[in-house]
Amino acid sequence: MGFLTAFYALAFYVATAIFIFGLGYKIYQYARTPAPLKVPTTPAPVTQSGAVFRILTEVVIFKSLFRANKWIWLFGIAFHGALLVVLLRHLRYFIEPVWTWVVLLQPFGKYAAFVMLIGLLGLLARRLLVERVRYISAPSDYLMLILLLVIGISGVMMTFVTHTDIVNLKKFMLGVLYLDWQPIPTDPSLLIHLAAVILLMIIFPFSKLLHAPGVFFSPSRNQVDNPREQRHVAPWAIEHYESRTAPASASTQSPQTAS
Amino acid sequence: MAKIDFKVPQFRPYAAIPNIQPGVMKGKGPYVAKPEMQKPLGFPGELVDNWQQVAIEKMGELLKKYRSLQVYLDACVKCGACTDKCHYFLGTSDPKNMPVARQDLLRQVYRRYFTFSGKYFPNLVGAEDLTREILDDWYNYYHQCSQCRRCSVACPYGIDTADISMAAREIMDAIGLGQKYSNEIIGKVFKIGNNLGLPGPALENTLEGLEEDIKMDTGIDVRLPLNEAGADVLLVTPSADFFAEPHMDGLIGYAKVFHQAGISWTLSSHASEAANFALFIGSYDNMRKISMRIREAALDLKVKRIVFGECGHAWRVAYSFLNTLAGPFDFLDPNYPVPQHICEFTYELLQKGALKLDKSANDHRRITYHDSCNVARASRMGPMPGGQFIIPRELIKASCNYFYDMLPETLYDQTFCCGGGGGLLTDELIEVRVKGALPRMEALKQVVDDYGVTHMAAICAICKTQFAKVLPYYGFEMDQIVSLHQLVGDAIVL
């Protein structure tokens, strides 16, 4: 058992733990924190299912971004859409036997990588070239794009230029999953690719990648526009104002707890 | 027009995004509240000695109370979609008036004290210690935000700079650095009952005067009742409607609508103000206190319905928050939403055929309509989403023969703020107010040139006051802004 195998295997465990617990904590934090006031940006849906649909349009087609800026939308949706296909393609390295739809997805996944890179380069170009965006960019904003580019380029290299030992790679991954470590192939592009992915998993819960869970919890997008029909009060407001005073006790209508 | 020491922006041949000019709007911000203005609101009188510590503690408290703040400070990816959406940026070119940069003033401190990356890698993620310089930037630039939410519409995560600027102002209030304009006015509401500090007897005189004016104009006795217990409707309207032009003509319009509909109504000297400036400073506590006056007035006067007059942010607080802050209103007539907007009220009558309107009475006017930000993006009218855009326009079309909309990208949920909202309607901020009005003035210019528009109608007291002030800077007349219900009132055949 080589040092590299042990290092990468352990790094995967650590990264996965940080990713799951870190993200889990943030989701718990968002879910637990009340939205004490009705603040959907209007016009907003007047039903719960309408609000769910609104969030879906934001998550799936980036509707607000489309209205706001076509270039960012184009590069953004190219990157995210292609990333999804590429990630699904990667399932083949973690399951045995490989599901048919994952097999059928392989050719699309291979070329989606280029779409993903174009999206990332477009976003990077905007960040460098558009004065306003450059002004608001911190080093981490560039590094995040570079990290994703490293992942994408090293992946494309293995698919199209210097093939890695994919059979042994899969043995390694399954070994990590089933706690039966197998030697990792040592091609530089693979080691770079995996190291960058591990780093991305670790920084996910501590970075702006929190936009992924955040969008689901954004009160301006996920609230139903019904403040006159349904009373909406946060638990802290009830505790602070209504547990002793008249308004709540004067009524039989129980306020909807703000969520 | 007063003497000015800044350059009024020129109309641009086309709406290009300006190049950034860092620091051009750096300054001291608006006048700071004096200790006697802070105390009644429950804030320290002046900047406390350990202000950094108190500010960070307050930020921590708000992060636990408001999911919006927690999510918004985490989720921004700095994509830049909002950077060209703020009217203050478009009018001033100062990059700290780009919504994301304005948010970052708070976010840099949040990251430093509340996130792992900011604690251990501050330079990497742009985290900063809370210094006096940053506090000065907060005070200056969070008072160059009218909390209009136009950036929130553009954001892929709905990050609302209004919420962040409210939180920033709440933090500053908590350390004793309040804004004179907003806090002094809130104090007046607590002490006297309205923003203008108009006591009960003076209000009574004013209303009698208006009744006489209507009588002189029309020969008909139209009443403006005050404190009449047992009336059907309690009308809560901004106090500017009692005193300022063109607001008063709107109030006369409401009175004529009530008169013709034969619905009894009353104003209240206890709740003689619809405005709720506590929204601007993000203070739930003060916002609730101000809202409770309306509940108390409704109970005292035993009314069946509550209707709000033309006021943008007041309608946000009324529509979106009143039930939360001062509800439930189960003692009112359940057949009507609580509260209702005067436009909803008038529109309902119009649809029932209860109003007799002669459009030709407004034939000397060619009208356009300014969607006020809080009505457009933070509330609704009627049962349908977007009713806040349809109902006011239907009222204008029913009252006027000549109506022309401005460019759609400057209206509806993308409407441009008047430049004076969010607690900025004070003389010392005139430069940012004039510059922030640029996008709306350009849109107005276009319909003036193309369709010969003579007047712009609005349903917000702040918009009306702001436009009356800034229109002359752009070569228009101050009386080209009118109340929507002035048009209705002029068209009503009594």
Instruction: Report residue B170 as tokens.
Output: 């709440």
Residues whose CB is less than 8 angstroms from the CB of residue B204 and which lie 6 or more positions away in sequence, other chains included: B226, B269
- Rounded to the nearest angstrom, the gap between the alpha carbon of residue B189 and the centroid of all alpha carbons in its chain is 16
CB nearest to B77's CB, from A68, A206, A211: A211
Query: Is residue A89 less than 8 Å (CB to CB) from chain B?
Result: no
What tokens does A23 get?
A: 């993200």
A220-253 as b/e: b if 16+ CB within 10 A: bbbbbbbbbeebbbbeebeeebeeeeebbeebee
Helices (H) and strands (E) in chain A, counts: 13, 2
The answer for residues whose C-beta is within 8 angstroms of residue A188's C-beta and 6 or more apart is: none
C-alpha dihedral, B117 to B123 to B128 to B129, nearest 10°: 90
Residue A218 at interface with chain B, using a CB cutoff of 8 Å: yes
Across the beta sheet with B305-308, the strand order is B265-266, B233-236, B305-308, B340-341
In this prediction, residue A82 carries a pLDDT of: 98
Residue with tokens 């921004």: B76
- Under-50 pLDDT residues of chain B: 1
State the ipTM, two decimals. Answer: 0.93
Residue A179 in this model has a pLDDT that exceeds 90: yes
Distance from CA of A16 to the nearest CA of B (A): 18
In the block, residue with structure tokens 């407004």 = B362
Are B377 and A247 within 8 A, CB to CB? no
d(CA B77, CA B96): 17
Distance of CA B349 to the CA centre of its chain: 26
> Does the bond joining B30 to the residue before it have cis omega, within 30 degrees of 0?
no
B13 or A77: which carries more pLDDT confidence? A77
Collapsed DSSP state (helix, strand, coil) of residue B236:
strand
Cβ atoms within 10 Å, residue B64: 14
CA–CA dist B35, B183 (Å, integer): 10
**Amino acid B26: pLDDT:** 96
State how far the Cα of A255 lies from the Cα of B95, in Å rounded to an integer.
43
Q: Per-residue confidence at A256, pLDDT binned at 50, 70, 90? A: low
- Tell me the average pLDDT of chain A: 93
pTM of the model: 0.95
**CA–CA distance from A36 to each of B112, B138, B150, B387 (Å)?**
26, 24, 22, 25
Q: How far is Cα A130 from Cα A146, in angstroms, rounded to an integer?
A: 18
Confidence grade of residue A244 (pLDDT, cut at 50, 70, 90)? low
Cα A47 from Cα B384, distance rounded (Å): 11
Q: Is B379 on the interface with A (CB under 8 A)?
A: yes
pLDDT at position B12 is 83
pLDDT of residue A248: 44
* pLDDT given at position A253: 45
Q: What is the rounded distance in angstroms from the CA atom of residue B67 to the CA atom of residue B212?
A: 52
Alpha-carbon distance of A60 to A44, in angstroms, equals: 18
CB contact under 8 A, B385 and A42: yes
Contact A45/B385, CB-based, under 8 Å?
yes
Phi first, then psi: what are they for B146, rounded to 5°? -95, 10
Contacts of A16 by beta carbon, 8 Å cutoff, 6+ apart: A201
User: Beta partners for B235?
Assistant: B307
For B18, the closest chain A residue by CA position comes to: A132
Residues B59, A109: Cα–Cα separation, whole Å: 45
pLDDT at B4: 72
Report the residue from B22, B124, B376 with minimal CB separation from A140: B124
Residue B15: per-residue pLDDT: 73
User: CA B355 to CA A204: how far, in whole Å?
Assistant: 61
Contact B85 A68 (CB under 8 A): yes
CB distance from B98 to chain A under 8 Å? yes
- End-to-end CA, chain A: 51
Q: Does A39 touch chain B (CB under 8 A)?
A: yes
Whose tokens are 């319909």? That residue is B447
Is the pLDDT at A251 greater than 50, yes or no?
A: no
Res B2: pLDDT: 53
